[in-house]
Amino acid sequence: MIRRFVTRSKLRTFGILRRNMSRSDGKEGLQDEVVRSFLTLESLDPNIFRAPTKTLWHPTGSRFIFGGQVVGQALVAACNTVSPEHHVHSLHCYFLRGGNSNWPILFHVDRTRDGETYSSRNVKATQDGKAIFTMQASFKTDEKQEYAYQMEMPQVPGPENFKDTDDLLKMRLDAKGISDKEKDYINRMLSNNISILIRPLDPHAYYKVKPAEPRRLIWMKANGNIGEDYKLHQCVAAYMSDFSLLGTALQPGGSNYRTRFMTSLDHTIWFHNPFRVDEWMLYELFSPHAGNGRAFCSGRVWRTDGTLAMSIAQEGVVRVEPKSQTAKAKL
């Protein structure tokens, strides 16, 4: 159970999250775990919110806190300043500095514009007085019109045909000839409680066991009921969208290359149609270019009924070197 870090009397919890965190049986469910451990913010002012250090997630093998968490939290802050009728339709982010789990993050929201159909917000995240992240988000009310079209969803087997990443890692632990170093790394990976289910369609490409084209397909969903508030589903989706995206650019190198450094530079999401993050969605990812120390990746998220839910784009720093070069450097 994840305990509360602050009392209700000392702060105003974000309204959307507060409504969705209540349960009639008095118990905490996974919904509370996802929200409280990754997305809960303390409200310090109508336009200023804080993410406590104990809620910041530093993934295994990463120098910084998870970028998707900062995106999700920034969207939480922005959502708290718009009307219930306005939902985010696009957001554009820049990562300026790596986030540190030793400092709380402050999110400053600028209520740039409020209109009947569209509203705009700018969010700046700071740590220790320095800007680490900015986001511009646009919200709109629902609008119906007859003209609409979309591309077709890839035809792939359903999620029930594939294994979760945790199960795949556990299978690797049981493999013959695995080194103690790899065992330690896998055990640390398994200790990451992200409350998200990920099922790659091609595990060998996903884990870079073999070189593969820079394209991957994964089934993904939140591991529990998130509730009925669509804004909360959008915030969790923003958090989830950063999983596996930049890693797509590493697939052509397979296990022949070692990653020296990798981090996100920017992140963009367009929300097309309503969805639920606690239901399976297909994440289609591809990387059309990598070079000059950077890689560009994009993706589409599909509902199981074939509806296009989101489009995503990201550029990041990707620095790799051949493993043979690493071996020479050690001699």
Mark out the alpha helices in 174-311 (DSSP H runs).
Answer: 180-190, 203-206, 230-240
CATH code of the domain in which 87 resides:
2.40.160.210
Residue 71 has pLDDT above 70, yes or no: yes
What pLDDT band is residue 148 in, cutting at 50, 70 and 90?
A: very high
Residue listed under structure tokens 């296990």? 255
Evaluate whether residue 108 is within a structural domain: yes
CB atoms within 10 A of CB 330: 5
| β-pair partners for 12 | 43
Evaluate whether residue 154 is within a structural domain: no
CA-to-CA distance for 16 and 35, rounded, in angstroms?
10
| β-pair partners for 87 | 140
3-state secondary structure of 145: coil
Dump pLDDT digits (tens) for 56-69: 876 666 778 888 99
Evaluate whether residue 286 is within a structural domain: yes
Evaluate whether residue 152 is within a structural domain: no
Mean pLDDT value of segment 15-22: 40
Evaluate whether residue 297 is within a structural domain: yes
Residue listed under structure tokens 């700071």? 126
Dump pLDDT digits (tens) for 20-58: 333 333 334 444 545 555 788 999 999 999 998 887 876
Q: What angle separates helix 67-79 from helix 230-240, to the nearest 10 degrees?
A: 160
Evaluate whether residue 148 is within a structural domain: no
Q: What is the pTM (predicted TM-score) of this model?
A: 0.84
Q: Residue 145 burial (CB < 10 Å; 0-12/13-18/19+)?
A: exposed
The boundaries of the domain holding residue 38 are 8-141+159-330
For the chain, the domain total comes to: 1
Instruction: State the DSSP H helix or E strand holding residue 288, giving kind and residue range, or none if neither.
Output: strand 281-291
CA-to-CA distance for 271 and 138, rounded, in angstroms?
10
Catalytic residues: 242, 264, 314
Instruction: State the DSSP H helix or E strand holding residue 106, giving kind and residue range, or none if neither.
Output: strand 105-114
Using alpha carbons, select from 271, 278, 276 the residue that is nearest to residue 197: 278
Instruction: State the DSSP H helix or E strand holding residue 68, giving kind and residue range, or none if neither.
Output: helix 67-79
Residue 12 has pLDDT above 80, yes or no: no
More confident residue, 149 or 167: 149
CA-to-CA distance for 196 and 111, rounded, in angstroms?
32
Evaluate whether residue 12 is within a structural domain: yes
CA-to-CA distance for 284 and 307, rounded, in angstroms?
13
Evaluate whether residue 277 is within a structural domain: yes
